Amino acid sequence: MKRTLTILLIMLVLTPMLFAASMSASQIITKVTDTQKSDSAAMDLKLTLIEANGTQRERRIQTLTKSVGDDVMSITVFLSPESVRNTRFLTKDVGGQTEQYIYLPALKRVKRIAAGEEGGSFMGSDFSYADMASTTYDADEAVHTIVSEDSLSYTIQSIPNNRKTYGKLVVVVDKSNYLPLKVEFYDLDQKTVIKTLVTEQQDVVDGRPITKILTMTTLATGHATRLEIVQARYDMPISDNYFTLKFLETGR
């Protein structure tokens, strides 16, 4: 009887581990995506630009995001400093097509981000316009391979089907909550790391694991951008009117 009980206990312990080990790279990436999904989100963010010499400049922004099925819309509004106040940025990923627009108050006009500009810096940060849409690829957007695994994390290589901005990504995934711990962004040659995104702090909001502080660093310049979620709310009603060119231009 004791031997039977011992075997049962061992099986109970090993079963989750065996299940995790049997997951494919695509299944892990799907878990990463699903963990970060929500019907809607409202966030207050602190964005800090860090020069190679340590000089820092802080910007405060608010974002609203809404998802309907696989379609995602987001609006980002800069609150401070005065030099960028009321700059607004709209991303719409609808029907598998991404459209991005930015309103520049100094010019009093809306500019559409062209496909060839996706790799450009977003408002002087280390995030590109492409990064603002996503920093990982969905399971069907790339070929995913498990590079390595230990007791705490998976390391997944993702080679995108459509290589426009990056040749590949290498993502370290936290096994406990499926949040990315680190992302390496490779040039189109798939050999040169051009940027790294590192999770500095995690948190739990309304039972949801989130990345609270992360830092994107451009290796060639040593410039970095730290993004901190100061406050976040999820799954509340948000009007579609926020995700329109009218709101982008007028703020109303």
Instruction: Reply yes or no on whether the pLDDT at 8 is more than 70.
Output: no
Is the separation of the CB atoms in 134 and 140 below 8 Å?
A: no
Convert 182-202 to b/e letters by CB count within 10 Å (16 or more is b): bbbbbeeeeeeebbbbbbeeb
Mean pLDDT of 196-221: 96
**pLDDT, tens only, 135-181:** 777 778 899 999 999 999 999 999 998 888 899 999 999 999 999 99
Is residue 75 within 8 Å of 63, Cβ to Cβ? yes
Residue 133, pLDDT > 80, answer no
Query: How far is Cα 132 from Cα 79, in angstroms, rounded to an integer?
Result: 18
Q: What is the pLDDT of residue 136?
A: 78
How far the first Cα of the chain sits from its last, in Å, is 71
Q: Any idea which of 2-6, 206-210, 233-237 has the lowest mean pLDDT?
A: 2-6
Rounded CA gap, 92 and 188, in Å? Answer: 25
Q: What is the pLDDT of residues 105-125, one digit of tens each?
A: 999 999 999 988 888 999 999
Listed by start position, the domains of the chain span: 26-250
| CATH number among 1.10.3720.10, 2.60.120.10, 2.50.20.10, 1.20.200.10, domain 26-250 | 2.50.20.10
The residue length of the chain stands at 252
| Whether the predicted pLDDT of 18 surpasses 70 | no
Give 61: exposed, middle or buried? Use CB within 10 Å, 0-12, 13-18, 19+: buried
Q: Summarize pLDDT for 70-105 with one digit per residue, the tens.
A: 889 999 999 999 999 999 999 999 888 889 999 999
